């Protein structure tokens, strides 16, 4: 087997920089004044000057670093890393999914957002699904497959900001797909969900090679995906939307009873747009506008800015109560207002105003809960987030997903490509702005984040985890801004997650806090494990040095040079 020498070198560098112990959540408790070489973290922040990448998987970080060291910029490295994640975390991400990105062009001093989410087939509708016996949006299967936007997004990113060709940046992913990689413990645990789709022949052949999910240490190859990526590398995104891959996906979809046509694929396009923003204690925080949930994170920040959070103490019951109540208010607006802006214009100026936040604060009682009586829309959890900053200080905040574990549970013939189930995010209510309609983009949970200080990029960050993402963005920002934590510790601190059914707390949050929250009326739910997957890079405003943090909840890896 002929393995590229630069790939070996990158892997060796990864292993050298990944000397860390992944500790249970209980180990994340603050250490107070106790001396510690890592300041109460499982590892210290990574620091570098020439460039930095943080992803959820070491092989993807190595691929991005390889591109940076070959002279590529942050966008080149981001696309390369995302493509590798499609190979090594197939339950989370695929060319058959969607992506969103924020890009800071250091030379032009310009911040733009990319919406690379796909649309429902033109023939899709609520009535059409009702005629087929559906009473609600399905959560798996062909009718959840919107036209994937990720590959077009890769092309749009490189066309506008990249310095390398698609063939160059896809090469690491092609190598891993063709030559294989050893499955990690974290990925193997997620792979167990593949067994749910064993009755789908193309899926089973691809992801259950011995009739069962892969175990830690097993070598996985996806030669069909390597062939598809090679076609995209040579022909560009047209291979996916107008060429052989499109034809195979549409043929497969029609065999499954789907509404997809070649015209639906040929019409797919990503959109460059302006991000939305708010200010929070001297920082400007940027998110993506609808059809994704960035609005919710910004609303939460506006509400919480009216409180002296630091005086309450970190993760105390009083502190968490305010965050949970702010979340409920912001997510009530999210449930009512977020839809494809081509079909519905949300009143963003009002929702993001400080006056509106002051009105919202009137609903918060420090002693008891508020019930906005609004159900959260369906949100998936299987997502990858990555961020890259290069030597010129171009910045990319990037998120890509197939919505839930292994997406729709379908692989299109011999393409090796998992098709997402993002269409499950549509509403079946014919009066709702997010109702299923042909040519429409569904509600998305995907949000890459960025924060500026004094008009310059300060932080590029994200917290993958479906419905958790806006809640995670806010918790991390408060850790950094209100409590002055460093970038690694800010991502390691215990988190809460609010659902319709109640509040889940990571296990490091103590029983006294839980008891007080219950007394205020919160319904605490049992939720084993942890929530979210955080990656972040910060630019020191004085020295220009790069600091990065990566989440112990995933196979997180931040590396620089």
For residues 335-356, average pLDDT? 97
Q: How confident is the model at residue 27 (pLDDT cuts 50, 70, 90)?
A: very low
Over residues 70-125, the pLDDT tens digits come to 999 999 999 999 999 999 999 999 999 999 999 999 999 999 999 999 999 999 99
Note the pLDDT of residue 560.
97
Q: What is the pLDDT of residues 221-268, one digit of tens each?
A: 999 999 999 999 999 999 999 999 999 999 999 999 999 999 999 999
Helix, strand, coil in percent for the chain, rounding step 5: 40, 20, 45
Q: What is the pLDDT of residues 145-175, one digit of tens each?
A: 999 999 999 999 999 999 999 999 999 999 9
Phi-psi region of 455 (alpha: psi -120 to 50; beta: other; left: phi over 0): left
Tell me if residue 94 falls in helix, strand or coil.
Answer: coil
User: pLDDT at residue 379 above 80?
Assistant: no
Instruction: Out of 146, 292, 383, 415, pick the active-site residue.
Output: 383
Report helix, strand or coil for 397.
Answer: strand
The tokens for 250 are 């549409």
Tokens of 57: 């998987």
DSSP element (H, E) containing 336: helix 317-337
**What is the residue whose two structure tokens read 């890509």?**
400
Residues 491 and 43 sit within 8 Å (Cβ to Cβ): no
Residue 356, pLDDT score: 98
Q: Output 516 or 20, whichever has higher pLDDT.
A: 516
Q: Any alpha helices (H) in 343-467, and if so which ranges?
A: 348-351, 354-361
Q: What pLDDT band is residue 22 in, cutting at 50, 70 and 90? A: very low
Mean pLDDT value across residues 534-549: 97
346-360, 366-380, 395-409: range with lowest mean pLDDT: 366-380
Q: Is the dihedral of CA 207, 210, 216, 218 positive or negative?
A: negative
- pLDDT for 432-482, tens place per residue? 999 999 999 999 999 999 999 999 999 999 998 878 899 999 999 999 999
User: Angle CA(281)–CA(285)–CA(291) in degrees, nearest 5?
Assistant: 140
Tokens of 417: 């490509």
Is the pLDDT assigned to residue 34 strictly greater than 70? no
Give the confidence band of 138 by pLDDT, cuts at 50, 70, 90. Answer: very high
Residue 383 a catalytic site member:
yes
């Amino acid at each position: 087997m002929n393995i590229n020498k630069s790939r070996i070198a990158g892997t060796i560098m990864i292993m050298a920089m990944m000397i860390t112990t992944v500790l249970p959540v209980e180990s994340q408790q603050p250490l107070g004044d106790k001396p510690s070489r890592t300041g109460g973290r499982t590892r210290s922040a990574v620091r570098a000057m020439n460039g930095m990448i943080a992803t959820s998987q070491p092989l993807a970080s190595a691929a991005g670093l390889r591109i940076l060291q070959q002279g590529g910029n942050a966008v080149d490295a981001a696309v390369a890393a995302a493509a590798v994640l499609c190979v090594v975390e197939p339950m989370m991400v695929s060319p058959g999914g969607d992506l969103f990105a924020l890009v800071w062009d250091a030379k032009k001093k310009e911040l733009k957002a990319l919406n690379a989410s796909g649309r429902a087939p033109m023939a899709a509708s609520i009535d059409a699904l009702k005629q087929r016996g559906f009473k609600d949006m399905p959560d798996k299967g062909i009718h959840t497959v919107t036209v994937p936007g990720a590959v077009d997004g890769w092309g749009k990113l490189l066309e506008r900001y990249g310095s390398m060709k698609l063939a160059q940046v896809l090469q690491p992913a092609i190598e891993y797909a063709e030559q294989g990689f050893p499955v990690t413990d974290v990925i193997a645990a997620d792979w167990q969900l593949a067994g749910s789709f064993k009755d789908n022949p193309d899926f089973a052949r691809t992801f259950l090679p011995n009739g069962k999910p892969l175990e830690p240490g097993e070598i996985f190859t996806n030669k069909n995906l390597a062939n598809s990526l090679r076609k995209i590398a040579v022909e560009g995104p047209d291979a996916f939307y107008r060429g052989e891959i499109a034809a195979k996906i549409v043929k497969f979809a029609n065999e499954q009873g789907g509404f997809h046509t070649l015209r639906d694929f040929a019409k797919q396009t990503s959109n460059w747009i302006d991000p939305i923003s708010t200010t929070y204690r001297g920082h400007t925080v940027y998110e993506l506008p609808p059809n994704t949930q960035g609005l919710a994170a910004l609303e939460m920040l506006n509400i919480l800015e009216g409180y002296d959070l630091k005086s309450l103490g970190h993760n105390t019951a009083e502190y968490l109560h305010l965050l949970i109540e702010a979340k409920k208010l912001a997510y009530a607006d999210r449930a009512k207002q977020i839809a494809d802006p081509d079909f519905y214009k949300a009143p963003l100026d009002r929702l993001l105003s400080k006056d509106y936040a002051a009105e919202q604060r009137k609903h918060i009682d420090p002693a008891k809960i508020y019930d906005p009586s609004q159900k959260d829309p369906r949100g998936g959890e299987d997502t990858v987030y990555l961020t890259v900053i290069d030597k010129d200080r171009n910045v990319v905040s990037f998120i890509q997903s197939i919505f839930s574990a292994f997406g729709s549970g379908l692989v299109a013939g011999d393409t090796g490509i998992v098709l997402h189930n993002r269409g499950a995010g549509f509403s079946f209510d014919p009066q709702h702005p997010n109702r299923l309609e042909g040519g429409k983009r569904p509600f998305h949970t995907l949000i890459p984040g960025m924060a500026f200080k004094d008009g310059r990029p300060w932080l590029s960050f994200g917290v993958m985890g479906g419905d958790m993402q806006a809640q995670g963005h806010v918790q991390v920002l408060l850790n950094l801004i209100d409590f002055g934590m460093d970038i690694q510790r800010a991502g390691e601190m215990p988190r809460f997650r609010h659902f319709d059914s109640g509040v889940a707390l990571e296990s490091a949050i103590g029983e006294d806090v839980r008891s007080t929250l219950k007394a205020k009326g919160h319904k605490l739910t049992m939720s084993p494990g942890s929530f979210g997957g955080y990656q972040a890079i910060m630019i020191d405003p004085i020295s220009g040095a790069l600091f990065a943090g990566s989440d112990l909840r995933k196979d997180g890896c931040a590396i620089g040079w």
